[in-house]
Amino acid sequence: MAIDELRFDWAFLQWAVMAVVGVYTWLIGRQSASQKELLELRTRITTLEAQVKQVPTQSQITELISKLSRAEAQMHGMQEQMAATYRRTENIEAYLLQKK
């Protein structure tokens, strides 16, 4: 094989360079997509952490339940007192209407 038999094919060189550029672009695109996904995940985690900080603890919920129970008991007591007052008022009204 002599040097004259070797020929330089520009079309093959162009195809090889385009293939290398295509592979490089594909790799960079994957890396860029991974970075975008990572940034999105970090943003979501930060948002989730901020929301979790605002969630009440178990002890706070227990305290709230006990306060609600006490308020319910007080309201029940007030309801009984109001019913007794209503009955007394009706008795007074009935007495006054009979005396008239």
Q: Which residues contact 56 (CB under 8 A, 6 or more apart)?
A: 64
Which pLDDT belongs to residue 31? 78
Name the residue type at position 7.
R
pLDDT for 60 equals: 93
Supply the pTM of this predicted model.
Answer: 0.47
Predicted confidence pLDDT, tens digits, the chain (100 residues): 556 556 667 777 788 889 999 998 888 887 777 878 888 889 999 999 999 888 999 999 999 999 999 999 999 999 999 999 999 999 999 999 998 7
Tokens matching residue 29: 């695109």
